[in-house]
Structure 1
Amino acid sequence: MPSELEFAALTRITTLPTVIWLLAAALTGAFLWQMLAATNREVITNDEGFHTYAGYRYWQCADFGVNPEHPPLAKMVAGLVLQIAKIPAPSGPCPVVSTAKGSGYADSAEWLYSSTGPSTGAKIDRVIPLARRGMATFALLLALTAFFFTRRMFGDLSALVSLALIAFEPTLVAHGSLVTTDMALSATSFLAVASFFLFHRRRTPPMLLLAGLCCGLALSVKHSGVLIIATLLLLAFAELVFDWNRGEQSRTSKVLKEAAAVLFILFFGFGVLWATYHFRYAARPDGAQMAMSLSDFMADTRAKENHSVILKTIPFFAHHHILPEAYLYGFVDVLSISDPGQSAFLFGHLYPHGVPQYFLCVILIKTTLGMIGLALLSLLASRKHSFDIRPLYFLVPSLVWLLAGMVSTLNIG
């Protein structure tokens, strides 16, 4: 155990705000430099070309039937950077001729690799690095959220440690700038959790609006962003439990106020989701139709013996236009792949479908030993704060996404 003088030396950094900001800026810069240095070196991954093409098409045509398997927000960020850089747009009419997935991959390859036609300037060696630089904003958002959230909870020293762990974590550096939806979901869902915590520390209308906005961002980057709903509900329940016997308000009043706040956050969040689809139900503009209608796509998914409860609710959402058509179409697309699932290969064994231990094994393999050791130490340290709600804001989101992945029959990623 350190002496009082040693402990004071360790925590003295909290009294040097200029040093804190300089160190934070240096760590953030190091994180960005590592990601951007890799943007020109890493070969294109399987979905990056299609995502980049779709993001440009959203700005060009507002055709959300292109690549609807993921909500548009993250791809639109990549497309916006390309538009600012005046990258030649994909050739072909607006809306696109076909929204079939195979056609989308072919069209994106034609745009990125073709050496003739109006898209000559849209070369893959220029387009993908630019799009990746746009996507790096989500990694930057994750780092800054971690710094300020941890600083708000545990102080300056802890905030710097968390930022350093992010800045030099190989997995985050490797995935931080890819034109995929994973980092975007990590950043926005963490931001939603952080804003939910801040709202409960200061219950004001601006903080409530901020929580709703951040919830909407998580919903708008990836379909698994819906797990933010379960996460916020569990955290709201935890807040009620920890606040049950405190204050002068009656328990009934506390429950009603908490329920009203959560409902508003979710309602506002889905409003943000609608905004990314231009508040339009139809997936495509000018009356254009999808390559396969939503009803036919659901029928085809049912024919694969899909048993998802969510699939049974989609006709209701579609009939009443509760959610955008492209969002629902993408949800069916995800369900058609994930249930009953695909074969999985793990540690020399081929399984007919996903297995629960897959994602646990992936985490243990991909995560550095130092990070695993620190995670275990943090769990031990949290046992000393049995009446502290703060550790739950880190544990609950992690467990929700992990359990969702374990019960999934789709073992990829």
Structure 2
Amino acid sequence: MKRFRVLEIIPWLILGLFILASFILMFNASQQESATMDELAHIPSGYGYVRYLDYRLNPEHPPLIKALAALPLLFQKLNFPTDKSSWQTDVNGQWAVGARFLYESTPAGGQAGNDADKIIQWSRLGPMLLTILLIFFIYIWAKELIGRWWALFPTFLFGFSPTVLAHGHYVTTDIGAALGIFIASYYFVKFLFKPSRRHLIFAGVALGIAQLTKFSAVLLIPFFGFLIIVFCLWEFKNKGYGLFAGFGQLLKIFFRYIFYLIIIFAIGYFIVYLVYFVFTLNYPVEKQKSDTQFTLTSFAGGPDRNWESCRLDSKISLARRARCLAEINIWMSQNKILRPLGQYMLGVLMVFQRSAGGNTAYFLGEVSAAGWWYYFPVVFILKESIPSLILIAFALLLGIWRVLKC
């Protein structure tokens, strides 16, 4: 009996060693690096959220990672430029606030200027904890799928991936979003196979957490819809339903899980609302409205009159009708109940606005603002380790073979 208990403990001890080693590597790398460009905006923005409950900075990204990074800073005596125009009157003056907060703070009231290195290193603890949590969840899900010993293999590959170690300590959205999307997928799949009120709530909360890490996590909604279709087809095949009677049963299962998905969606966005509600408490309504109006000035052709873009009888192009979203957002920003969701919606529209305008970049000898469809596949192949690429290719081939075999 004791021997079996020891065997059960050993994988957890190995997991602990993986996590410890990964943390040490990230921490050591962090100590040798100055702030990245994104951190110049994210760190002061997060501090503004948790210290002043004010979301005027960096609305283009959800708050969770930035706020978590800023929590250790609450225990330090820091000078924050709330008396400067970059905070008081500028629209999203994140870069100027960041420069003053980290590098240009002046002594006040007998207090020394801010120590940039100290702020940066303390802020990075939050992202490192999120990376560790992601390593842990990878092991948990893999253990359920392939057993506690084999689960150590994908955990090892992820925990010591050069890409993960390089980005896991930055105050950016990438690793946090990976964690949010992963746990949301984990709990949703868990709910599909073991439906219960508990798993339903967990799936909803996890979806909300994912939405608070990166706006692209909204793609989880159609992804979950796709998983429901796959699950229904799997149920149809496994239970051997007849063609006609089974089709009716298939539709019944499908709509039942779509209903559950709506509940999960509602729970998730209730979490989003609560977090944005807290972080907009001290954001003046008039300031939020004027910031939103200015930010969306050029969205879908600019402002319209009398809600023209929202009226069904308006004879305007479909592209121009997108302006209706901006007008609704501006209206929400001045509504005391809806303005937290208005701030969330502003971030989403800013992402669409930036995507439409593009970002000029250089890649493989070309300069473009439209991007390249092959950018991410090429970068992934170049940056990921060769053993991981071989295993991924093998897994894909094995999966295709099993599908064809069925």
Pairwise TM-score range, normalised by the shorter structure = 0.7 to 0.9
Describe the shift of the 1:310–1:39 C-alpha distance in structure 2 as closer, same or farther (beyond 3 A): farther
Indicate the residue corresponding to 2:121 in structure 1.
129
Amino acid at match of 2:114: A
Verify the 8 A CA contact 1:28 1:163 in the aligned structure 2: no
C-alpha distance in 1 between matches for 2:147 and 2:28: 31
Say if 1:283 and 1:326, in contact at 8 Å, map to a contact too: no
Counterpart position of 1:326: 343
Q: AA paired with 2:271?
A: V
2:366 corresponds in structure 1 to 349
Matched, 1:232 2:224: yes
In structure 1, the residue matched to 2:7 is 16
Conserved 8 A contact 1:65-1:284? no
Question: Which residue among 300, 303, 310 is the counterpart of 1:302?
Answer: 300
- What is aligned with 2:253? 254
TM-score (norm 2): 0.83
Mark the CA change 1:191 to 1:270 in structure 2 (over 3 Å): closer, same or farther: same
Checking the alignment, whether the CA contact within 8 Å between 1:317 and 1:323 is kept in structure 2 is no
Deviations 1:354-388 (A, max 9, x none): 12111222112221222211110111222354299
Deviation at 1:89, TM superposition (A): 4.8
Structure 1's 302 and 283: CA in aligned 2 closer, same or farther, altered over 3 A? farther
Higher deviation after alignment, 149-158 or 287-296 = 287-296
Match of 2:377 in 1: 360
Paired residues, what number?
375
TM, length-normalised to structure 1: 0.82
- 1:54-65 mapped onto 2 (5 Å cutoff): 54-65=45-56
In structure 2, relative to structure 1, the CA distance for the partners of 1:190 and 1:318 (3 Å cut) is farther
C-alpha distance in 2, partners of 1:169/1:51?
A: 25
How far does the alpha carbon of each residue in 1:202-238 deviate from its partner, in whole angstroms, 9 at most, with x for none? 2111111000000001101111121111221111211
Corresponding residue of 2:107: 117
SS of 1:354's equivalent in the other structure is coil
Give the counterpart letter for 2:80 in structure 1. Answer: P
**Shift of residue 316 of structure 1?**
4.2
| Distance 1:366-1:144 versus aligned 2 partners, 3 A rule | same
Q: What corresponds to 1:373 in structure 2?
A: 390
Structure-2 change in CA distance of 1:30 and 1:373 (3 Å): same
Q: Is the 8 A contact 2:81 2:87 kept in 1?
A: no
Displacement of 1:112 in angstroms is: 0.9
1:309-354 Cα distance to aligned partner (Å, 9 max, x none): 9765454466564971221222222222211313332211223421
The one-character-per-residue Cα deviations of 1:140-164 (angstroms, maximum 9, x if unpaired) are 1211111001111111233100110
Counterparts in 2 of 1:172 and 1:333: CA distance versus 1, 3 Å: same
In the alignment, is residue 145 of structure 1 matched against residue 137 of structure 2?
A: yes
RMSD of aligned alpha carbons: 3.1
**Aligned counterparts of 1:182 and 1:108: Cα–Cα separation in 2:** 20
Shift of 1:49: 2.1
- Does the 8 Å CA contact 1:343/1:350 hold for their aligned counterparts? yes
**CA–CA distance in 2 between the matches of 1:308 and 1:142?**
41
Identity level (%)? 23
Gaps of 5+ in 1: 1-12, 390-413
Structure 2 residue aligned with 1:195, among 187, 192, 199?
187
TM-aligned CA deviation for residue 137 of structure 1: 1.6
Cα distance in 2 for partners of 1:309, 1:176 equals 40
Matches within 5 A, 1:68-217: 68-83=59-74, 85-92=75-82, 96-101=87-92, 103-114=93-104, 116-118=106-108, 120=112, 122-217=114-209
